[in-house]
Structure 1
Amino acid sequence: MADKLHFSLVSPARELFSGAVDHVIAPGTEGEFGVLVNHAPFMTTLKNGVVRVLEGDTVSKRFYVRGGFADVTPAGLTILAEEARSLSDVSAADVDAEIEAVKLKLLELDKDDTKRIVLDHQMVYLEGLRAALAS
């Protein structure tokens, strides 16, 4: 297994993935980056986007993350995401329903309500997730 990268993706809700992979591509705030086995250590922040797990040249898994951190160490890559979902486990219809629910909540709030900021961030995340499902 020395030729494989240990990759772990964790959200506050649960660990979504842990295992040996060939390559991971993640959405860093400074741009997309890839990590292979024996990569130089670094830590960076993530923006909303798709994390792709590759086996050889083939994407085997895709996750949509909402922000977080990526930490590359000699032991491998760990992504600590604010929120994350496997794109294979979510449907466009489910995301559309979540978007509609957030829209309704936003309509119920006053324009100065501080809850609006949290819902606006959730809406951006859900719209990105919906777009990722379409691609």
Structure 2
Amino acid sequence: MADSFEFELVSPERLLLSEKVTEVVIPATLGEMTVMAKHAPTMTTIKPGVVTVKLASGGVKKYVVFGGFADILPTGCTLLAESAVPQEEANRDLFQRRIDALRQDISDAPTDEHRTRLEHMLGDLTHLNHAMPHE
């Protein structure tokens, strides 16, 4: 049996998950990353994507995150999401509201650098929306 570690997924709205897990796959900005017990200490930013959590109890849970960062230690991982929902709650309405808000933010961006960052986020979010199994 794989070693387990503590994982917490936190958004400003609520604590979504706090459990012992064996593996967490996170959408890090520089590429998908798998976290396991005894992982080297790392901090990384998170882009819009799906977090897949393998629970120590045997189940799997998935969450859609809309950015944030992860703090990874050998004994645990905390993902602080800008916003997150269980995957089953992610619907077209939610994505469309976020896409519309990002487009408005892009048009109001004070600098080219800020606009470019928002445009990358919009690309990630649009890609994620098309990849999600919507009802």
The TM-score normalised by the length of structure 2 is 0.69
Instruction: Map residues 95-110 of structure 1 onto 2, 5 A cutoff.
Output: 95=94, 98=97, 102=100
Pairs within 5 Å for 1:29-108: 29-55=29-55, 60-92=60-92, 94-95=93-94, 98=97, 102=100
How many Å apart are 1:55 and its aligned residue?
4.4
Cα deviation 1:44-64 (Å, max 9, x = unaligned): 1111111111248x8711111
Alpha-carbon contact 2:95-2:129 (below 8 Å) kept? yes
Alpha-carbon distance between aligned partners in 2 of 1:40 and 1:122, rounded to the nearest angstrom: 27
Asked if the contact 1:8–1:77 (Cα under 8 Å) also holds between the matched residues in 2, the reply is yes
Instruction: Measure the CA separation in 2 of the matches of 1:131 and 1:52.
Output: 18
C-alpha change, 1:123 and 1:59, in structure 2 (3 Å) is farther
Q: Name the one with the larger strand percent.
A: 1
Q: TM-score, normalised by structure 1?
A: 0.69
Give runs of aligned pairs for residues 114-125 of structure 1, distance below 5 A: none
Q: Kindly, what percent of the aligned residue pairs are identical? A: 39
Question: Between Structure 1 and Structure 2, how many residues are aligned?
Answer: 125
Gapped regions of structure 1 (runs ≥ 5): none
